[in-house]
């Protein structure tokens, strides 16, 4: 393993053997690409991660942005990285040729984000934010806005942001207060405050383009009154030159982790001269944002997978080298000490980390392939994959974030006291990953989303398609004697999911909305464990197939790799999947503790 933050062999295994990314080249949209193209892309981003990003990973954390001269002063590597992203076409690689893109599959694009995040999450965030803003403009903005702002964004010259949150408005976006007053000059006057805006107003770029939600004066209350605007720090005037747009950075936050990228407080319109340019139609802003939200939530999940992966490899390296104690069966103190990795409890913690990281990446690529198929299949065949994406996005976003916290914590534990110190990077991964259950919709929102909306999508078709996918995998697993027990276990888990889901939907039908949704997070956890078990069974099928086909002809490293995959699958089914039974017992209980308890019992 040349890189310290990811495993190229695992990336190629998932891409080529489990999900067969090369099969996409049969479609016209991707026909210009090949296995060589995809390998070249992965090799290039791995080189960027190793040579440009990872070397400043800890440095950017120890020297975070400073608020000076009404601006965030960031590490010089940010400018270098954004230039490289622009020159290499990384910010719009998946776009159509007609839009200046390379028509790369989502599977490849998301793996690029994975490598960037694993090598230096804070640095990679600048690119992801800019790509997200550019995507919104490309999808929904007028030709005039595109002409003025789009090229500067996708070439990395300007920074893009998503400006949603306000000082008193977090997840409840329907209550936002930032206002937009119409003029007869082709723009709106924006007034208000935003906070927690990642990457806004830095000295790495000459301009920041904020994709901002605001309410047009006179618009109705709630989500229906929200519109989307381009609100740059410097607007482009009729001569094509930049002029100040009455957007001020009031300060930056001091954070637990993710320190290399500032989150800024913005004030718009203090001088009544902040121009905002309407994107799309009035009142559709939140809808536009949520049309792009699937991608952003997948990005968050991949970022969490990346940090858990990097922490795992740091722990693996340490445990392979550090000698401590002797085998449990040995009492002779004169015998030499053994590496930490020889101890069963250390192996348990490493297997837990590996199962979370590689299981989460597998699911992200599964959903990415669904997105690619939506792009190329006939319209009548897209419904299945569209519904599967909608159903699984809360899992892609949440499981790596929540389980990744446990995984990075285990990485610290593997290193013992050194893990708690800054000599090794695992403490930073632990701090950095804590933002992911909050970003792009908290875990609580994701739980309510999957239970309250997603399981009923298409009159239940989404769940039917999901179960059918798992049953197909189970059928494939029955061909291998070593996987049949796990196939049975996954089948039993699906039945458990059906029982729990039916019970909760009955509560909803009775009008017991709070009881129905109160434990949405626990339902999402149960759903996620079953989903990741499915992904591990897929990987075990592929590994068993390769071992059976290759037999003695396999290289030793390949044989160990495939056997390691099967052991990790066994771990997940034995240690992690079994947790669903406690969750199921709670979810089918008739004790609505959190609903019935009044807040005053906690406030005395």
Of the pLDDT bands very low, low, confident and very high (cuts 50, 70, 90), residue 455 is very high
pLDDT tens digits, 341-377:
999 999 999 999 999 999 999 999 999 999 999 999 9
| pLDDT computed for residue 292 by the predictor | 78
Of 315, 310, 351, 319, nearest to 576 by C-alpha is: 351
Residue with tokens 């005053």: 600
CA distances 503 to 141, 447, 580, Å, are: 44, 16, 15
pLDDT tens digits, 458-490:
999 999 999 999 999 999 999 999 999 999 999
Residue with tokens 């500067």: 152
pLDDT tens digits, 500-516:
999 999 999 999 999 99
Residue 496: is its pLDDT beyond 80? yes
Name the pairing type of β-strands 208-216 and 71-73: unpaired
Structure tokens at 67: 């608020």
| pLDDT computed for residue 551 by the predictor | 66
Please, what CATH class does the domain formed by 8-153 belong to?
Answer: mainly alpha
Residue 253: is its pLDDT beyond 70? yes
pLDDT tens digits, 192-222:
999 999 999 999 999 999 999 999 999 998 8
Count CB neighbours of 325 within 10 A: 12
pTM to 2 decimals?
Answer: 0.96
Q: Which whole number is the average pLDDT over 573-597?
A: 96
Q: Which CATH number fits domain 160-286: 3.40.630.10, 2.120.10.30, 2.40.110.10, 1.20.120.1200?
A: 2.40.110.10
Q: Which whole number is the average pLDDT over 387-411?
A: 98
198 contacts: CB under 8 Å, gap ≥ 6:
125, 129, 161, 162, 261, 262, 263, 264
Residues in the chain: 604
Report which DSSP code applies to 255. Answer: -
d(CA 490, CA 485): 9
CA distances 56 to 4, 80, 81, 209, 518, Å, are: 13, 12, 11, 26, 43
User: Are the beta carbons of 140 and 288 closer than 8 angstroms?
Assistant: yes
Q: Which whole number is the average pLDDT over 548-562?
A: 87
Structure tokens at 178: 């930032």
pLDDT tens digits, 120-160:
999 999 999 999 999 999 999 999 999 999 999 999 999 99
CA distances 340 to 171, 427, 575, Å, are: 44, 19, 21
Structure tokens at 165: 């949150």
Of 28, 115, 120, 571, nearest to 364 by C-alpha is: 115
d(CA 72, CA 204): 9
139 contacts: CB under 8 Å, gap ≥ 6:
288, 291, 292
The three-state secondary structure class of 241 is coil
pLDDT tens digits, 422-443:
999 999 999 999 999 999 899 9
Q: Compute the mean pLDDT over every residue in the chain, rounded to the nearest whole number.
A: 95
The three-state secondary structure class of 188 is strand
Of 303, 9, 334, nearest to 132 by C-alpha is: 303
Is the Cα torsion angle 79, 80, 81, 84 positive or negative in sign?
Answer: positive
Q: Which whole number is the average pLDDT over 7-16?
A: 96
Residue 1: is its pLDDT beyond 60? no
236 contacts: CB under 8 Å, gap ≥ 6:
148, 149, 242
Of 98, 188, 109, nearest to 138 by C-alpha is: 98
Buried residues in 127-142 as b, exposed as e (16+ CB within 10 A): bbbbbbbbbbbbebbe
Weakest mean pLDDT among 23-32, 54-63, 287-296, 367-376 = 287-296
Residue with tokens 């607007």: 235
Q: Which helix (H) or strand (E) holds 278?
A: strand 275-279
Of the pLDDT bands very low, low, confident and very high (cuts 50, 70, 90), residue 175 is confident
Q: Which helix (H) or strand (E) holds 392?
A: helix 382-415
Virtual CA dihedral for 414, 417, 423, 426, nearest 10 degrees? Answer: 40
Of the pLDDT bands very low, low, confident and very high (cuts 50, 70, 90), residue 456 is very high
Q: Please report, for the chain, the start and end positions of each structural domain, with discontinuous segments joined by +.
A: 8-153, 160-286, 452-604
Q: Give the largest CA-CA distance in the chain.
A: 88
User: Are the beta carbons of 373 and 385 closer than 8 angstroms?
Assistant: yes
């Amino acid at each position: 393993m040349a890189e310290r933050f990811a495993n190229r062999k695992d990336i190629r295994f998932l891409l080529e053997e489990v999900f067969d990314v090369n099969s996409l080249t049969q479609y016209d949209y991707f026909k210009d690409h090949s296995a060589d193209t995809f390998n070249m892309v992965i090799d290039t981003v791995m080189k960027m991660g190793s040579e440009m990003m990872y070397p400043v990973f800890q440095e950017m954390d120890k020297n975070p942005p400073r608020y000076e001269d009404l601006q965030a002063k960031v590490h010089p590597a940010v400018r270098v990285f954004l230039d490289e992203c622009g020159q290499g076409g990384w910010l719009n690689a998946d776009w159509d040729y007609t839009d200046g893109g390379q028509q790369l599959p989502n599977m490849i694009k998301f793996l690029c984000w994975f490598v960037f995040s694993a090598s230096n999450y804070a640095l990679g965030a600048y690119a992801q934010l800019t790509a997200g803003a550019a995507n919104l403009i490309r999808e929904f903005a007028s030709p005039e806005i595109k002409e003025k702002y789009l090229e500067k964004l996708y070439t990395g010259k300007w920074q893009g942001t998503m400006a949603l949150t306000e000082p008193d408005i977090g997840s409840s976006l329907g209550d936002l207060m930032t206002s937009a007053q119409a003029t007869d000059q082709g723009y709106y006057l924006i007034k208000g405050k935003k906070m927690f805006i990642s990457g806004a107003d830095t000295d790495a770029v000459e301009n920041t383009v904020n994709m901002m939600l605001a309410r047009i004066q006179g618009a109705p209350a709630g989500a229906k009154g929200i519109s989307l605007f381009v609100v740059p720090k410097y607007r482009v005037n009729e001569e094509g030159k930049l002029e100040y747009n009455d957007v001020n950075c009031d300060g930056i936050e001091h954070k637990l982790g993710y320190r290399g990228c500032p989150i800024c407080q913005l004030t718009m319109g203090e001088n009544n001269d902040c121009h905002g340019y309407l994107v799309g139609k009035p009142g559709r802003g939140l809808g536009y944002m949520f049309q792009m939200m699937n991608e952003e939530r997948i990005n968050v999940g991949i970022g969490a997978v990346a940090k858990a992966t990097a922490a795992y490899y740091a722990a693996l390296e340490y445990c392979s080298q550090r000698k401590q104690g002797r085998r449990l069966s040995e009492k002779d103190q004169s015998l030499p000490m053994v590496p930490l990795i020889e101890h069963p409890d250390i192996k348990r913690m490493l297997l837990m980390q590996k199962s979370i990281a590689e299981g989460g990446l597998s699911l992200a690529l599964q959903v990415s392939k669904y997105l690619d198929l939506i792009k190329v299949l006939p319209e009548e065949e897209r419904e299945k994959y569209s519904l599967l994406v909608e159903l699984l996005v809360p899992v892609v976003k949440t499981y790596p974030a929540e389980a990744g916290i446990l995984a990075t914590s285990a990485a610290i534990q593997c290193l013992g006291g050194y893990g708690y110190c800054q000599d090794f990077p695992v403490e930073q991964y632990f701090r950095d990953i804590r933002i992911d259950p909050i970003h792009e919709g908290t875990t609580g929102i994701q739980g309510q989303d999957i239970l309250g909306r997603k399981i009923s999508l298409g009159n239940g078709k989404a769940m039917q398609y999901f179960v059918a996918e798992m049953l197909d995998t189970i059928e494939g697993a029955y061909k291998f004697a070593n996987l049949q027990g796990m196939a049975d276990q996954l089948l039993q888990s699906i039945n458990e999911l059906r029982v729990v889901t039916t019970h909760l939907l009955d509560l909803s039908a009775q009008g017991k909305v709070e009881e129905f949704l109160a434990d949405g997070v626990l339902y999402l956890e149960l759903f996620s464990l079953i989903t990741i078990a499915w992904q591990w069974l897929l990987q075990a099928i592929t590994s068993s197939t390769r071992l059976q086909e290759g037999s003695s002809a396999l290289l030793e490293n390949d044989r160990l790799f495939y056997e390691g995959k099967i052991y990790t699958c066994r771990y997940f089914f034995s240690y992690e999947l079994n947790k669903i039974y406690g969750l199921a017992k709670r979810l089918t209980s008739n004790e609505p503790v959190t609903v019935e308890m009044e807040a005053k019992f906690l406030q005395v």
